Amino acid sequence: MLLFSLFVALFGATCAFASSRARGDRNLYFAREETDGLQNIVTWDEYSIMINGERTFIFSGEMHPYRMPVQSLHLDLFQKIKSMGFNTVSFYVFWGILEPKRGEISFEGFRDLQPWFDAAKQAGVYLMARPGPYINAETTAGGFPGWGTYTPGLWRTSNTTYFEAWQNYVSTVGNIIAKNQITNGGPVILVQSENEYTGWAPGYSEDFVYEAQLLTAWRNAGIKVPITFNDAFPGGHYLSVNIWGYDSYPNGFDCSNPYTWASDAVPEWLWGAHMEYNPTEPNNVYEFQGGSMDGWGSVGYDKCAILTGPDFERVFYKNELSMSTTYLNLYMIYGGTNWGGIAFPGVYTSYDYGSAIAEDRTLREKYYELKLQANFLRVSPAYLTTRPMNLYSNQGAFTGNTALVTTQVLDVVGKMTGFYIVRQNSASSNAMETYNLTLSTSSGILTIPQLGGKLTLDGKDSKIHLVDYTAGSSHLLYSTGEIMTWASIDGRDVIIVYGNADELHETAFKFNSTNIPSANVVSGTQSLKTKTINSTSLVLQYTTSGQTVVEVGSNILLYILDRANAYDFWVMYPPSTSSFANYSTANPILIKGGYLIRSVQISGSTLEITGDLNCTASFEIIAPAASSKQVTFNGEPLTLATTSYGTLTSSKSVSLPSVQLPDLESLTWKTADSLPEIHSTYIDTLWTTADHTTTVNPTQPNTSVVLYAGDYGYHTGNILWRAHFTSTGSETGFTLNVQGGAAFGYSVWLDQTFLGSWVGDAVYPNYEGTFNFSGTGGLVSGSQHVITILQDHMGYEEDWTAASDDFKAPRGILSYSFVGGSGTKVSVWKMAGNFGGESYVDTTRGPLNEGGLYGERMGWHLPEFPDENWKEGSPTTGISQAGVSFYRTTFTLDVPTGVDYPMALVVSNITTNPYFRSQFYVNGYQFGKYVNSIGPQVSFPVPQGILNYNGLNTLAVSLWAQGAEGANLNSLALETTAMVESSMRPVVNQPMPYWTPRSAT
């Protein structure tokens, strides 16, 4: 309560300060620059983080290296994020794929982190490293290694066994991160300890010893930059880090109702929590909703992109700005793919997340909306020392319209600039509201618009109006048109303002004398009204429609745009000559046009632009005349014209050559039975014997031996169980309870006779079923039999609740019994999972790529497997009985250079014999898990570099029919999801090791 009382007193003082708009007494908010004592490059005070002494708004996006295994595509993604105006990427490190076997850490193949660090620096993007050891992230076991499921003791505590478990990982990964810190010339500016250590199992609470152990370990590993922590909500946990922060997902995860917002969805209370827990640090939101996860049986990520679309971005992100947030990380900015067994059971193969950058690396409209906000913040240093002045009393403020909320955010250090953030009081409203603003300015109190009319605000929209804002040498007395950016080029301030189509706005300039220049429309058809006020200010009233360019005297060039035209502008920065060349924010160049502008560089008098086009582009280029006498685009000279107001224009036709894609259904496919385990001739002698009689698992078994796959070192993919028994002649069925996580399924055979399946649904993580022996003709006393169970493993649960060990929830058989044979005993249980278990053999593709299907254990999914003796058969023809078949084919691609044509494997739902599961393997990498009866995913993006765009590809498909009638894929196609002429660096294929003989059985 003491801290809260202090906050109330401080808030009252700031409100009084706001009303007076005093210009003196700067000591009221005395800035104290803080460091961790280990370095002085990344510092902070109560307002913002500083890098090399310069205040920086950290606009960050979340992206995970393990969800994009093609390392040569990291640069493409970093460049797209940088071009959006962001300066930082936050990323998790996944312990479980680096140390799948205790004591053996591997960075082979896609797991090598150094290309990630190198690409970030090359693009000019800072990094926030989040190595856990727990990460959550909708990742199997929340990022913990599978061997943790049989390690005794509570995890996410100071328990000795857990402490010993993470030592090697934290030391090894911490050392790699340390080598890439900004203090060592790398891109890493912050390191997060743990993740959302916010909730605990009953009887447990925050473990301060554990927190201190981790902090010591990170420092011992060489981490010198500030250490952070993200509370899942502002609860004041783990405050011993350097810079504490929190997470917020205010719009929830109901993608099935993407247009529905709760009326009170927009949170203002976060500011009060910040002032209670860390008032001497910046307001940091380390995870803010950038999209939504989507689960099995849901509606798909396109709907999630609507739920968190451009209107969401305008309302919710600007609300964060109303609370003087200066570190804002959007989870996710690029989601990627849960290829192989990466996912926990709550999500499917795609991790698109409805992000600004889609799974196939294309740009959604969300991307362009974010570009407007990010570029505004980059040129608004006054925002970095602001405080909200009227939170909790902002309804109707400054407008008199109680349907609106206007938060006054003032620069309390510079004591000049004001940011007025307007939104609807009810987040669910779709009504248009009209209003006037009455604001205090350096020229007195003004009612705006000054030239008559009303401002408007649509439902689910928000605006930032400005007072006494500096743009170069220009002083904006106020502007209701939102600023995207400004730049001083050749002695002239170029200012870009925008609004929704056909909105009324005003921008007023204040001058140092009464000699006010005239304003003239030099391009565009929109009319302009002007008015002089207080003898020193010029008011311009306009409508934001299309593009209108206005010259105000000789020193101001004002672009007035509607939102669609504003989306077309890019703000680019030539590299400097320092070792951090691509981090420069000096000498901006403004470019209109193009799907994506990646970079600019000045070579003498030539401006060199690189970018991507999806259609013929018309460019307008605003650059220093001396360095843009010639302009090239992707190395080709542009034909230039000069506008009457001194900018350059040009056009560039797009080249999108056609590409012949294979018709997958017409290819020659080979097929083989991938369930020989049900045949009488099958020998499982070399299988793992499930003979443990005890387990440390919190879920104690109801069976004579432990039937948990994890206890035997199998942590991913399909699991097979074989129960050998001698019949008493009285058995009439078999009851078993199998657990595999949400959307899992299992099938049961008695010898070669199919008994039935649990086909799965999106809800149940386990299912108890009884399977009758009625179709077997009866069992003979003394006869030998085998029950075969094939189950899916959908990943381990996460462990969000600390000290719960939820991630140890077993995958396997929880209980079983014979119906009618109470005395029948299983003589031996045998089991099989991925070949080698924790000693997996495909060290390139990693420990989660393949499961326990016979075809996977034998390597049938790998290139060059000798299938010439297989019979022909296609997955769209399928099989006519329950079981598993494997299919293989090859095809060649020949995609020209200079284009980016992302591709996906596309299937379609079938309602005849709908109960089946398929997995898709491209050149040995599992890039799709399809459950026809659950869905929703039917399009499976496969990135270039997994697909060989210039050579031979191997495609393998497993088909597990769970019904007696069999199953088949309804369709299967390889399709392009976009066609873009691109300047991205050439893609290097990930290693694709060929098949070698395996001794699997």
Q: Does 369 participate in catalysis according to the annotation?
A: no
Greatest Cα pair distance, the chain, in angstroms, is 110
Q: Is 424 helix (H, G, I), strand (E, B) or coil?
A: strand
How long, in residues, is the chain?
1001
DSSP 333-365: SB--B--TT-B-TTS-SB--TT-SB-TTS-B-H
For residue 10 the two structure tokens come to 């401080």
Catalytic residue among 287, 503, 620, 856: 287
Sequential DSSP letters for 501-553: TTEEEEEEEE-SSS-PPPEEEEESS---EEEEETTTEEEEEEEESSEEEEEET
Rounded Cα distance between 333 and 352, Å, is: 9
Q: How far is C-alpha 278 from the chain's CA centre?
A: 27
Place of tokens 């479980």: 96
* Closest among 430, 374, 357 to 566, alpha carbons compared: 374
Distance from C-alpha of 36 to C-alpha of 96, rounded to nearest angstrom: 30
How many other CB atoms sit within 10 Å of the CB of residue 909? 13
Of 384, 388, 386, which is closest to residue 405 (Cα–Cα)?
388
Helix, strand, or coil (residue 561):
strand
444, amino acid identity: G
Tell me the Cα Rg of the chain.
31
Of the candidates 187, 171, 281, the one whose C-alpha atom is nearest the C-alpha of residue 225 is: 187
Alpha-carbon span 927 to 947, nearest angstrom: 10
395 DSSP assignment: B
Angle at 533 between CA 528 and CA 538, to 5 degrees: 40
Count of C-beta atoms within a 10 Å radius of residue 694: 10
Round to whole Å and give the CA distance between 71 and 953: 19
Torsion of CA 188, 190, 191, 193, to 10 degrees: -170
Q: What is the distance between the alpha carbons of residues 99 and 361, in angstroms, rounded to a whole number?
A: 29
From residue 23, alpha-carbon distances to 28, 55, 339, 389, 410 in Å are 11, 21, 57, 16, 12
- Other Cβ atoms within 10 Å of 784 Cβ, number: 12
Helix axes 2-20, 270-277, angle to 10 degrees: 120
Dihedral over Cα of 853, 854, 858, 860: its sign:
negative
Asked if residues 102 and 145 have their Cβ atoms less than 8 Å apart, the reply is yes
Cα 862 to the center of its chain, rounded Å:
29
- Catalytic annotation present for 665: no
Number of other CB atoms surrounding residue 965 within 10 Å: 13
CA gap 229, 130 in Å, rounded = 9
Residues 6+ apart with CB under 8 A from 637: 630, 631
Question: Which residues are CB-neighbours of 548 under 8 A, at least 6 positions away?
Answer: 521, 523, 524, 525, 526, 528, 542, 559, 560, 561
Angle between helices 160-179 and 208-220 in degrees, nearest 10: 40
* Structure letter (DSSP) for residue 855: H
Beta strands in 115-193 (DSSP E): 126-130, 188-192
785 - beta bridge partners?
Answer: 725
Contact 974, 660 (CB under 8 A): no
- Which residues are the active-site residues? 196, 287
